[in-house]
Amino acid sequence: MSAAESGATRGLKRTAHAHRDPLDTVVAHQIGALLTPVEGRHGSHLAGSRWSLSRHGNGRESSTPEGESRRPEQGRRSYLRSVTFTTRSFRAPLWALKPHAQTLAGKFLRPRLSLPLRRERWETPDADILLLDFADEGLEEAPLVLLLHGLEGSALRPYALLSYRALRREGLAAVGLNFRSCGGEPNRLARSYHSGETGDPRWVLERLRQRWPERRLGALGFSLGGNVLLNLLAEQGAAGAEFVQAAAVVSVPFDLSASADALERGPLVRAYTRYFLRSLIAKVEAKQDLLGAEKVERIRRARTMREFDDRATAPIHGFRDAAHYYASCSSARCLDRVRAPTLVIQSLDDPFLPQAALPEAALRRNPALVPLLTERGGHVGFVHGPAWAPRFFAEEEAARFLAAALLDPLHQPLHARAQQQGKHSDSADDHGNRAEELERG
């Protein structure tokens, strides 16, 4: 079954929602406290580490901290080349030191860029639909990066658009997968997506490989999408480095149970929960004919993410209950099986994941993983620079890593090669003009 393109959208730009976001009210009451500086270090943990991305003769890759040696696995040919990647330090600015300040600044200050995008509508093997947004104009033969978005997001969220731009500047094409029921069009089936749903991204990557057999493929996942991506790479095991040649993940909820608990601690974090539940429950209500009125009414009464997962996510997707879903789909349990070189950008103060639940030992133990753990950054925040001209570290660093792993150095843009040599610039001119609109949804 070929992927049918339903139409092209050029210069795509979506405006802010007309309704008032409940988080706006929270921000109005909390902003003074959030922007109050606190004492302490706000640098980066493990940033500045140098990693060697070794490309094998059979196309597979591995990553190793510089100074350590790795012998090729038995049966593999010698390395063709090595690319050294140096992680950069992230420093939270004084105006956004606290975790919620970073999280909300990331949400409200990321611009909604106008980019040349085209959308394709794919029919799935189970008679449902998937929407894919391609950012590949002029890069039809470049390596292609699949982006997976977060909970109740889409492939057109500001962090996705910023990622497409950052990837383009490194010479990489991108395509964003809208999970089922996301992207502005409801899906047909009762099922949708969840933190361990790897079937759709696997099928998409397989179709992309069939369509462009000569292109190298990468992947980039944010939040829930990062958890999905790590699960997928672990399922692929040793074949993962051929399936996806390099990956990056940002703000991953490695332990879903701990994350669900974290979303109930404190009034501001509970506001995030209400924000997610409003969208999730609305989608369930729209499927009453498929789910039944009694089930929908029970789901409608959910007040926590755990209650929603227990009443909706788990039974709809074949799990016994929320506990079974969390235990089966938390990526912390399978990090040791990831074989594709993967950059992990994670803040120790992520309000969606307690630091005690961060699998730091497992991240360090697997030589395929490149952990970039920062003391600050919130959840998909990583905002730095002045408040009037903020920059967004996660998208920049992920694109830089993927370019180092996917591109032949002789064909990289000049600025990308300079960055790999540590000659990057912090000037605003290097990152282009920002669009006027800010995300409000």
Percent share of the chain, pLDDT over 90: 69
Q: What are phi and psi of 298, to 5 degrees?
A: -65, -40
pLDDT at 84: 72
What is the spatial distance between Cα 106 and Cα 61, in angstroms, rounded to a whole number? 32
313 within a domain of the structure (yes/no): no
Average pLDDT over residues 220-237: 97
- Tally of domains within the chain: 1
Residues contacting residue 115 through CB under 8 Å, at least 6 positions apart: 11, 12, 135, 161, 164, 165
174 within a domain of the structure (yes/no): yes
Q: Write the CA distances from 92 to 32, 211, 269, 383, 387, integer angstroms.
A: 17, 42, 20, 7, 11
Tokens of 366: 């697997």
Give the other-Cβ count within 10 Å of 21's Cβ: 17
Percent share of the chain, pLDDT over 70: 73
- Is the alpha carbon torsion for 263, 189, 150, 279 positive or negative? negative
318 within a domain of the structure (yes/no): no
325 within a domain of the structure (yes/no): no
Domain, as residue range, for 227:
40-70+79-255+330-422
What is the spatial distance between Cα 188 and Cα 150, in angstroms, rounded to a whole number? 21
21 within a domain of the structure (yes/no): no
Say whether 56 is catalytic. no
Q: What is the CATH number of the domain that holds 104?
A: 3.40.50.1820
Catalytic residue among 133, 136, 349, 350: 350
Average pLDDT over residues 381-398: 97
Q: What is the pLDDT of residues 118-177, one digit of tens each?
A: 999 999 999 999 999 999 999 999 999 999 999 999 999 999 999 999 999 999 999 999
Catalytic residue among 223, 251, 259, 331: 223
Whole-prediction pTM: 0.80
Residues in the chain: 441
Say whether 408 is catalytic. no
Residue 76 reports pLDDT greater than 50: no
Catalytic residue among 149, 194, 379, 384: 379
What is the spatial distance between Cα 87 and Cα 49, in angstroms, rounded to a whole number? 6
- Is the alpha carbon torsion for 262, 264, 267, 272 positive or negative? positive
Residue 7 reports pLDDT greater than 70: no
Per-residue DSSP letters for 333-390? GGGGG--S-EEEEEETT-TTS-GGG--HHHHHH-TTEEEEEES--TTTT-EES-TTS-
180 within a domain of the structure (yes/no): yes
Lowest mean pLDDT among 77-86, 97-106, 236-245, 356-365: 77-86
Most trustworthy range by pLDDT among 11-15, 26-30, 202-206: 202-206
84 within a domain of the structure (yes/no): yes
286 within a domain of the structure (yes/no): no
Residue 29 reports pLDDT greater than 70: no
Residue 86 reports pLDDT greater than 50: yes
- For residue 417, the surrounding DSSP H or E stretch is helix 414-420
Most trustworthy range by pLDDT among 30-44, 278-292, 410-424: 278-292
pLDDT at 356: 96
Say whether 223 is catalytic. yes
Whose structure tokens read 């490309």? Answer: 55
Q: What is the pLDDT of residues 282-329, one digit of tens each?
A: 999 999 999 999 999 999 999 999 999 999 999 999 999 999 999 999
pLDDT at 380: 98
What is the spatial distance between Cα 319 and Cα 398, in angstroms, rounded to a whole number? 33
Average pLDDT over residues 334-354: 96
